Amino acid sequence: MNKIIKIFNSRNLLSDFFAKEILKNSELIDEGDFLTIAFSGGSTPKKVFEFISENYKDKIPWERIKIFWSDERCVPPDDNESNYKMAYDALIKNISIPEENIFRIYGEIDPSEEEVRYKYVLKGNIPLINKIPSFDIMMLGLGDDGHTASIFPNNISLFNSDKICINTKHPESGQDRITFTGKVINNSKNVYFFVTGKGKSKIVNEILNVDNPNKICPASLVEPSDGNLYWLLDKGAATGLKNI
Ligand code: 6PG
């Protein structure tokens, strides 16, 4: 694994870096193939999507990109809690992407059926490495408690599940979620954490600062075995980091 920590002066600069990563990776795709991206929920990805809508919507070859989700809340796609709806409103509705390139998680159906259905969607549409789908680009957020996607500290063992998608619940609200596990996250070519705001600096330090013993939490288990791990931080989230 190659770990790259980047600190940006603004969310726009962070977003611009990520847009260029999409462009760069789309140029590496062979004729007839697709760049595969897993979107995440969260407040920073939303800003990134809005930035891309405003600045890159005609620059990125969307017809050659397939979009998936690393986690979803089990609600209908028009619900304000839906990660699909967030991405649709902030980006998808503004770009020219064929509908068949968008593979949302069905939050409206029985989660135990959806974890299986989505597994087959991934296996049928993403190149496999070691029999597991391998994303070109995996977006992830970081919760204050160290959760990522919808794997929370209270069910951290799901990260090492044999499944690639799994039904879990939010620890406080009890809301059902569908989430990728470590099996597919760590099989990605490029994983990007999006973390902004001073409120996240405590957990960022606990995971990344060499002065501290490494905290074990779902996000700290993200280590793409044969890929790049990017931590995209703003100055606030990076407050106190000493090893860079
Ligand atoms: C979700 C997310 C989740 C999120 C983090 C960070 O569906 O809630 O995928 O993992 O990315 O909670 O969220 P913020 O950026 O809003 O703090």
Cα–ligand 1 centroid distance for 74 (angstroms): 15
CATH number given to 2-234: 3.40.50.1360
Measured CA to CA, the distance from residue 163 to residue 86 in angstroms comes to 26
Does the C-beta of 196 come closer than 6 Å to ligand 1? no
Interval 190-236: pLDDT, tens: 999 999 999 999 999 999 986 666 678 999 999 999 999 999 999 99
Interval 36-47: pLDDT, tens: 999 999 999 999
Strands 165-169, 176-180: pairing kind: antiparallel
Assigned token pair, 203: 């957990």
Secondary element (H or E) of residue 112:
helix 111-125
Top mutation candidate among 15, 18, 39, 43 for ligand 1, by most atoms within 8 Å of CB: 43
Cα–ligand 1 centroid distance for 61 (angstroms): 27
Does the C-beta of 143 come closer than 6 Å to ligand 1? yes
Count of CB atoms situated within 10 Å of the CB of 95: 16
Domain positions in the chain are 2-234
Interval 148-190: pLDDT, tens: 999 999 999 999 999 999 999 999 999 999 999 999 999 999 9
